[in-house]
Amino acid sequence: MFDSSPRRAGPLPVWPYYFTAVVVAVAGLAMIWIWTPDDFPPKADLVKVNGDIDRVRIKDDISGTSAGAMMTGFTAVYFTFKDGGGEYFYPANQPDFLRVRDFTAVNIDVWVEAAEIDGSEPLRIWQIVENNPSNLVAAATLITYEAIIARLTTIDRSMVITGRWLLVLCLGLILFGRGVAARNKRRFSRLS
């Protein structure tokens, strides 16, 4: 009824270890490449722009629309001023994003890169000060250049470290795969 003879297991497959190692290596290298600390603009290269807020939009960075506005990690707040002057944005990876998104109103001072002002792209905000004496909901928004740079540097450093750990995991998977291949070769060379 049942076959009680011992079965010999075949060789363990090695390709899953190598395939996973390649996927992990690509992810690790991408993280290191993307988050290698940027050259942030020096404070001396920033200029102050002031204005009454005309329009505020929350857009996701992936589609450039408001469709994914609730995905906090991938969004930015976009401001336009009543007197024109372009569009300014404050991304979610900078400190106190929710304060800027939900409570900043009326009039703000923003510091942007002077070299970027004549371009067609929205200008990234590197410091923001709210001038709203009637804001009864929360204290006026004040986010300094130093706080923004410290937060971005911390994020960059942690992502690069994570990428390095993924490369270590890749090496471990390759070594484990080589160990399995050596075990298969040794075991099945004795059987033949």
Compute the distance between CA of residue 87 and CA of residue 55 in angstroms, rounded to an integer. 9
- Cα–Cα separations (whole angstroms), residue 52 to 97, 113, 168, 174, 179: 19, 20, 51, 58, 66
129: number of CA atoms within 13 Å, CB side?
A: 8
Q: Where residue 9 falls among pLDDT bands split at 50, 70, 90?
A: low
Torsion of CA 147, 126, 101, 89, to 10 degrees: -160
DSSP 1: -
**pLDDT exceeds 60 at position 7:** no
Per-residue burial over 56-87, b if 16 or more Cβ lie within 10 Å, else e, is: eebbbeeeeeeebbeeeebbbbbbbbeeeebe
- Each residue's pLDDT tens digit, 23-38: 999 999 999 998 887 7
**pLDDT exceeds 90 at position 59:** no
- Each residue's pLDDT tens digit, 77-112: 999 999 877 899 999 999 999 889 888 888 899 999
Identify the pLDDT of residue 4: 57
DSSP bridge partners of 128: 110, 143
- Each residue's pLDDT tens digit, 103-146: 888 889 999 998 888 878 899 999 999 987 776 677 888 999 99
Where do the H-state alpha helices sit in the chain? Answer: 15-35, 97-103, 145-191
Strands 75-81 and 87-91: antiparallel
Compute the distance between CA of residue 125 and CA of residue 108 in angstroms, rounded to an integer. 11
3-state secondary structure of 127: strand
* Assigned token pair, 130: 């709210």
Compute the distance between CA of residue 44 and CA of residue 37 in angstroms, rounded to an integer. 19
